[in-house]
Amino acid sequence: MHVTGLEGRPGSAGASPSAGGFGGPSEAPHGLEIRDLEVAYGGLTALAGVTLRVEPGEFVALVGANGAGKSTLLRSITGLVRPRAGLVRWRDEDLGALSADRVVERGIAMVPEGRKLFPQMTVEENLELGAYGDRARVDRRARLEGMYAIFPRLAERRGQLAGWLSGGEQQMVASARAMMTRPSLLMLDEPSLGLAPQMMTLIFGLLGQIHRAGTTLLLVEQNVHAALAMASRAYILESGWVVGAGPAEALLHDPSVRRAYLGPLAGLP
Ligand SMILES: Nc1ncnc2c1ncn2[C@@H]1O[C@H](COP(=O)(O)OP(=O)(O)O)[C@@H](O)[C@H]1O
Ligand SMILES: [Mg+2]
């Protein structure tokens, strides 16, 4: 699938407020810049050459089918996967050589696919695990209370074992744990997976709240409709390639995107 004629395509003029390169010393630091990123698992190419950017304060969605390479992209940013080629820069620093711990210290947090909680530990113990690094140690107690203010359900369940919570509540724990690191950029890998529509709406509402409070978001989703409805800009990944990019609203109404990702009933009123 190829989407053409959309603004904001990487590399196009006016693609972002700071289009025009990596910036000189006089400019404010950029957010996340990914250039020509290639990742392979043995002989399998998972990312073929991905270029994208997320500017400070943006809410960007990365959508695509199962196997498109979305998780691989997030894992490359967080230092869990080493790219074969290309560049990952954050605030004008090359992240390529940094360990996953250091990436967190730079202000990037990820909520992994499948949540990856410690089911035999309480909600609060899971949240405290998010706050072991230097960055998070500052005001840890206040930060924890701040998370309970955003996620009141977790306050009620702070002493319960995480494994006993519903899928939606577990997603809240995973999101709050990532937020405990005081990220500037929060990346979420398929937060809606396995959730009932009502719970998904609740979680996405909370993400909107986190974004409005000042955290930059990169949301990875197979639920293309929900993600495009939330984000301001989006990229479409297909078999390791970016095949579409632009304002989320424009992609949501693009006929080829609707045909490919939004199902046969999507065009009906
Ligand atoms: N650890 C791994 N080892 C080998 N192949 C992998 C591994 N992780 C992912 N892949 C493959 O890489 C491709 C992209 O996977 P992934 O990034 O998980 O896609 P997505 O998150 O979009 O579903 C798929 O073909 C997948 O099977
Ligand atoms: Mg994935």
Instruction: Give the rounded distance of the alpha carbon of 267 from its chain centre.
Output: 27
The tens digit of pLDDT for each residue in 14-71 reads: 334 443 344 445 556 689 999 999 999 999 999 999 999 999 999 999 999 999 999 9
| Separation of CA 46 and ligand 1 centre (Å) | 6
Q: What is the secondary structure of 176-224 as a DSSP string?
A: HHHHTT--SEEEEE-TTTT--HHHHHHHHHHHHHHHHTT-EEEEEES-H
User: Does the beta carbon of 43 sit less than 6 angstroms from any atom of ligand 1?
Assistant: no
pLDDT, greater one: 222 or 161: 161
Provide the 10 A C-beta neighbour count for residue 245.
26
Contacts of 155 (CB under 8 A, 6+ apart): 148, 149
pLDDT at position 105 over 80: yes
pLDDT given for residue 185 in this prediction: 97
Which ligand is the nearest neighbour of the Cα of 67?
A: 1
Model confidence pTM above 0.85:
yes
* Gyration radius of the chain over CA positions: 18
The protein residue whose alpha carbon is closest to atom 25 in ligand 1 is 67
17-32, pLDDT tens digit by residue? 443 344 445 556 689 9
H or E stretch at 124? helix 123-129
pLDDT in tens, 180-223: 999 999 999 999 998 989 999 999 999 999 999 999 999 999 89
For helices 167-179 and 197-212, angle between their N-to-C axes, nearest 10 degrees: 10
Write out the CATH class of domain 1-107+183-194+202-262. Answer: alpha beta
* Least distant ligand from the CA of 44: 1
Nearest-atom number in ligand 1 for the CA of 75 is 17
Give every CB contact of residue 59 below 8 A, 6+ residues apart in sequence.
208, 211, 216, 217, 219, 230, 231, 232, 233
Q: Is residue 114 within 6 Å of ligand 1 at its C-beta?
A: no
Helix (H, G, I), strand (E, B) or coil at 81: coil
Domain residue spans in the chain?
1-107+183-194+202-262, 117-182
**Residue 260 — pLDDT band, cuts 50, 70, 90?**
confident
Q: Please tell me the predicted confidence (pLDDT) of residue 142.
A: 87
Contacts of 234 (CB under 8 A, 6+ apart): 60, 61, 62, 63, 227, 228, 244, 245, 246, 247, 248, 251
In this prediction, residue 53 carries a pLDDT of 96
DSSP 161: B
In the 8-state DSSP scheme, what is residue 112? Answer: -
